[in-house]
Structure 1
Amino acid sequence: MRRDVFQAIADPTRREIIHLLSQHPLHLNAVAEHFDISRPAVSKHIRILTECGLVTIRQQGRERQCIADLGKLKEVAEWATQYRAFWNKKFDALDAYLAKAQKPAKGKK
């Protein structure tokens, strides 16, 4: 099953794994040591990240090294960008409203 990058980042554990691996590649056991969940659960998260194209696995002897491939996150950034202008307008309107509400009315102290 091919998953998309949005499925990968939907889970906080997977987001933390992405963050860990963005710092430097880690062996699967080293990734698992950072979490209070079972190693099979971490392996499942890694499998999903691999299916989404955010992590690649390189076999090094008996160990499997997990390497972040963050290029797919560009898809998320592009998707979010389309909403940035919308939210900037909303925040600008809120700033203007608050500035107006904080000004004392003429003739009042």
Structure 2
Amino acid sequence: MRKFWLTYLPVDRFEALGEPHRRRIVELVADRARNAGEIATHFTISRPAVSQHLRVLTETGVLAVTVHGRQRVYSLDPTAFEEVENWLDAQRERWARALDSLEEAMEAAHRPSGETDT
């Protein structure tokens, strides 16, 4: 009986960054570009597994890859985080509005009867 492995690629950067090994790879290349072998030395997982993570990060646009002869050098694509930052900013604004509304409701509930907010 043959076993078939289905390779799953995340469809967006959020999913790509949700995996701990990939986040660690991003941290490694954040300060300088590194080749695949150098990145792999920081992990106890197999080199093919590291290569798969690099592929996911490259295909989702988190990393850029440059080929120098037989070496592939990976670097961080800073524009990749604009999407993440925009989403986080929207969530912060949403929560700030919700908390402001909650604060107003709590203040109104604790005001003596007949007193209004001016």
RMSD of aligned Cα (Å):
2.2
**Kept in 2: contact 1:14–1:45 (CA 8 A):** yes
* Aligned equivalents of 1:21, 1:91: Cα separation in 2: 37
The answer for unaligned runs of 5 or more in structure 2 is: 1-8, 107-118
1:14-33 Cα shifts (integer Å, max 9, x gaps): 11111111110001000001
Indicate the residue corresponding to 1:6 in structure 2. Answer: 14
2:70 equivalent to 1:62: yes
TM-score computed with the length of structure 2 as normaliser: 0.70
**Kept in 2: contact 1:6–1:76 (CA 8 A):** yes
The answer for unaligned runs of 5 or more in structure 1 is: 98-109
- Aligned partner of residue 36 in structure 1, secondary structure: coil
Counting only pairs closer than 5 Å after superposition, residues 35-74 of structure 1 correspond to structure 2 as 35-74=43-82
Counting only pairs closer than 5 Å after superposition, residues 19-30 of structure 1 correspond to structure 2 as 19-30=27-38
The alpha-carbon distance between structure 1 residues 10 and 2, as it changes in their structure 2 partners (threshold 3 A), is closer
| Large movers: runs of 4+ above 4 Å | 89-94
TM-score computed with the length of structure 1 as normaliser: 0.75
State the identity as a percent: 36
In the alignment, which of 17, 21, 24 is matched to residue 16 of structure 1?
A: 24
Choose between structure 1 and 2: higher helix proportion.
Answer: 1
State the structure with more CA Rg.
2
Indicate the residue corresponding to 2:116 in structure 1. Answer: none
Higher relative contact order (CA 8 A, sep 6+): 1
Number of positions where the alignment pairs a residue of Structure 1 with one of Structure 2: 95
